[in-house]
Chain A
Amino acid sequence: MSTEQKNKPRLIVNSESRPYWEGAANGQLLIRKCNSCDKVHYYPRTICPHCFSDDTAFIEASGNGVIYSYSVTRQANPPYVIAYVTIDEGVSMLTNIVDCDVEKVHIGQKVKVSFLETEEGYALPVFTPV
């Protein structure tokens, strides 16, 4: 668990996103895959944004990725890292890089998923350097 966020993160949970948060609480990073066009997308939606099929389902991602871009928010105490991580499945997701030396975070850095417990009793996927 990271100590970087003093309070537990709060989520917006709705019928479309709840399985995603439940998956995270079970230690799984879920992304949505379309059974019609076979493409994955992020953030997850019931209707595929690529082909508009409603035949989509959650699949478990490997949890491995690389940092596409990042920024250190210096005005926060302590500073935190926001990033886009491109996961092995090919989509990029907004996230935080935690349990890291903020001065050493860099584009192309290999990271893996970890999970922060949230206010609601679910978990939030974040990433940490490999």
Chain B
Amino acid sequence: MSINGKAYIAGAYEHPSRISLDKTLPQLHAEIAKGVLEDAGLTKDDVDAYFCAGDAPGLGPINMIEYMGLNNVRHMDSTETGGSSYIVHVNHAAQAIAAGHCNVALITLAGRPVADAKEGKPARFFNPQAPDLPFEMPYRFNVVNMYAMCAMRHMHEYGTTSEQLAWIKVAASHHAQHNEHAKLRNVVTVEDVVNSPMVADPLHRLDCCVVTDGGGGLLVVSPEVAKSLKRPLVKVLGAGEAPKHLAGGHVDLTYSGACWSGPKAFEEAGVRPADIKYASIYDSFTITVLETLEDLGFCEKGKGGAFVSDGNLISGVGKLPFNTDGGGLCNNHPGNRGGITKVIEAARQIRGEAHPKVQVPNCDIALAHGTGGLLGARMGSATLILGSEAA
């Protein structure tokens, strides 16, 4: 069953906090739920489905349903695919709505890694029963060096340069200067990025995303509910999700799961990459964006470096405005997973409510893509295409 036109994003809310010392994790989830319901003009009693991922404390969705007093839930889902979870949730919510299981689906993401670190709470650790961990943990992998190996291989195969990767951060910084909530608001240059300290070759400090607290929420609703509300309509046109992994040792680090989630989403939406006016691309690191853009078909495989250069991702300058909120690279990467912020900014663009300096004129079709896990090992990829009512 296609979800094209069967569901709408009726609420989108980003928590303004970037350091949440004075707030508990459940409190952040609830504040986000409140914010997104107010944005849509709905109440908690209208919510009949709840979606969350591993950042929500408790047994899947149950404890947060209790904490928030969601009394009418008849559909729930706690799919966990890291930073792509929330885009998977939009897909699953739209499927559930299309199948008649629910009408108003609430999705929340919240995290407080900065506050947790200040309070001396241990970082989330990997499950020692994960099958891969015995063979990887002893080699001291971390998030940065696992993404760095992708960049190193992409450079080797396609001649991609650090300067080209830097353009991705530069574009994000141009957008973040207009976002009062962004963690990093200074505009940076290619030289700033390549001269920042090397973290794990070839990724510099400014190739990496920010670490922030906060989060965001979405409401996915049926067409009937969406049309009863006062907000501009944001229609779900198509979505795709896919795992990618090391395939028994047949390792290829030059592409992501987007090469499967993307075509599925485009097919369902009935559009092509050339039709996308705005793209939210998961940006844990600059290399994440570069490989994803290639895999989604915005340019040929291996040509991502040339594609992102010279401001091509800057709104009002280039052909593909991306992450106009400043993205994970400059604005917000709540709970070390972001993901939901990608859909929130895409919805702002379709509504015409992005910051005027970065709003894409006549933005009738937008894409949001999430990457969860490790690009250098195993990941969940998810792609969502949204449109205006006319799209």
Q: Which residues of A contact B (CB under 8 A)?
A: 5, 9-14, 16-17, 31, 39-45, 49-50, 68-76, 80, 82-84, 86, 90-96, 107-108, 118, 124, 126
Contact = CB atoms under 8 A, between A and B. Distances in A.
25 contacts: A5-B140, A12-B128, A43-B135, A43-B249, A49-B247, A68-B253, A70-B149, A70-B201, A71-B145, A71-B200, A71-B202, A71-B203, A72-B198, A73-B145, A74-B198, A75-B199, A82-B149, A84-B149, A90-B249, A92-B249, A92-B250, A93-B135, A95-B139, A96-B139, A107-B152
A74 B153 contact: no
Contacts of B200: 71-75
Given A11-B138, A68-B153, A80-B140, 5 more contacts: A42-B249, A49-B247, A73-B142, A82-B140, A92-B251
A118 B139 CA distance: 12
Contacts, number: 106
B156 interface: yes
B196 to A, nearest CB: 12
A93 B203 CA distance: 22
**B contact residues, range:** 35 or more
Interface of B: 128, 131-142, 144-146, 148-150, 152-153, 156, 197-203, 246-251, 253, 377
B249 A91 contact: yes
B152 A70 contact: yes
Best-surrounded residue of B139, B149, B199 (most CB of chain A within 10 A)? B139
A49 B128 CA distance: 21
A10 B138 contact: yes
A84 B253 contact: yes
A84 B148 CA distance: 12
A50 B202 CA distance: 33
A20 B47 CA distance: 51
A39 B248 CA distance: 10
Contact of A12 (B133, B144, B148): B133
Given A12-B128, A74-B198, A118 B138 contact: yes
B41 to A, nearest CB: 48
A76 B140 contact: yes
Contact of B135 (A17, A80, A107): A17
Nearest to B126: A12
Contacts of B139: 82, 94-96, 126
A40 B250 CA distance: 10
Contacts of B145: 71, 73, 82
A72 B151 CA distance: 12
B132 to A, nearest CB: 6
